Amino acid sequence: MTPASLPYLAAALRRPGYLLSWWPWRALAYLVTTVPIASALAVGLLLVAAPLAATVNGVRQQSNPLSLPLVLFFAAGAVAVLAVAPVVSFPLAAIERWRLGVVDGRPLPRPRWEGLAARYTSAAGWRETAYALFLGAVVPVAYWAVLLIVVMDLALVTGPWLAGDADRVVLAWTVVDTPGEAVPYAVAGVLLLPVLWYGLGALAAGQAAVGRWLLGRPADAAALREVTRSRARLVSAYEAERRRIERDMHDAAQPRLTSITLHLGLARLDVPEDSPAARPLAVAHGQARDLMTLLRQIVHGIRPQSLTDLGLAGAVREVADECTVPVTVRADIAGPLPDTAETTAYYVVSECLSNVARHAAATRAEVRLTRSGDRLVVEVYDDGRGGADPAGGTGLTGLADRVAAAAGRLLLASPPGGPTLVRVELPCRP
């Protein structure tokens, strides 16, 4: 699985080949386009913060007594900033959600304008305001620090040329007089360039993580938690009912149907072949056998028997072996898994591999099953032609609904020309 096929920058940073992919350039584009936005916000904050800091400093040095009009002025300025910030942050948040797609392709909720009053009373409005404050106060400081490191490294790399134009050149922590003395520092600067590329990627990933945390959380967390609990209860009730139906069909209906089939078979032995009842009896016997086979398939379809016998990893390998495309399965899921997560993961892999075989024109595929803390992560990758669209009838919409019913989420990355990556994250708390 290559960094280019991953849906977000933070995951690509952990993969080999990051420096040879497009991710460093996307991270750089994200950082560069942040500069004008953060600069404008920083100037607005400085217009309020600089006079206040100067006044407070004067009071501390007892050279500038704080008068009542000055206090009222600063209070009015702070109130004005707080009054305008929630309104200004709404279009800013829309731009930032769009820009976040450069380094993080995972979908984000897009709140609508619900009126001026909602900007001051909703948690989403104040989270967007907090992100604007983050862009105007924290990001410029971090960017200046990184810029200083980049300039120092460039000075090391260009040291031999700079030393040829002057008597003495300062390179970071030392002074050189000749180009020959600057060469070792230039070599060190070149060796540090990949580190800087990773550092810029880490900076962009950190900023994107903050943006996703503040801009991606639902507007009503309490309501969402209640919906999640209700859905979990429904899923648990469905799972219990499914097991009851499976048990009743296996223990009651299936034995009786088997008995009927046996009696029909014995009756056929007692009826002469030239009897008028022989043919209808043979038809009834065949239909009973077909119905027993269908019932067995239905019972097994409720929960695949391979899951019970082999566990998730073994069942997935069995599905992979039956696929017409060569499939590699990598599993790291030590410990028991909840039935809901296990069954959902199995059907995710089955549906995805079925799509790969029918639609992707792929030469190989890979399935990864990993358990990270209290989450089960399922990734299905193929090197096919890409362009998978949930609206195209490939079963992805139903798959997303199945994952959502298990309180998980499905992420899809499938650019035209491929490759395609389907990532599913499922809760697997005991």
pLDDT band of 289, cuts 50, 70, 90: confident
pLDDT at position 391, please? 65
Cross-strand partners of 422: 380, 412
Q: What is the C-alpha separation between 36 and 40, in angstroms, rounded?
A: 6
Count of beta carbons in the 10 Å neighbourhood of residue 144: 9
4 and 384 Cβ atoms separated by less than 8 Å: no
Q: What is the C-alpha separation between 27 and 203, in angstroms, rounded?
A: 8
> Is residue 220 helix, strand or coil?
coil
Q: What is the C-alpha separation between 246 and 297, in angstroms, rounded?
A: 11
Tokens read off for 99: 């820009």
pLDDT at position 223, please? 46
| pLDDT 10s digits, 302-323 | 666 777 778 888 888 988 888 8
pLDDT band of 53, cuts 50, 70, 90: low
Q: Residue 252 above 50 pLDDT?
A: yes
Angle between helix 278-302 and 254-270 (nearest 10) = 160
| pLDDT 10s digits, 1-20 | 555 555 678 888 888 888 88
Better pLDDT: 73 or 135: 135
How much is the pTM?
0.50
* Whole-number average pLDDT of the chain: 78
CATH H-level, domain 309-427: superfamily: Histidine kinase-like ATPase, C-terminal domain (3.30.565.10)
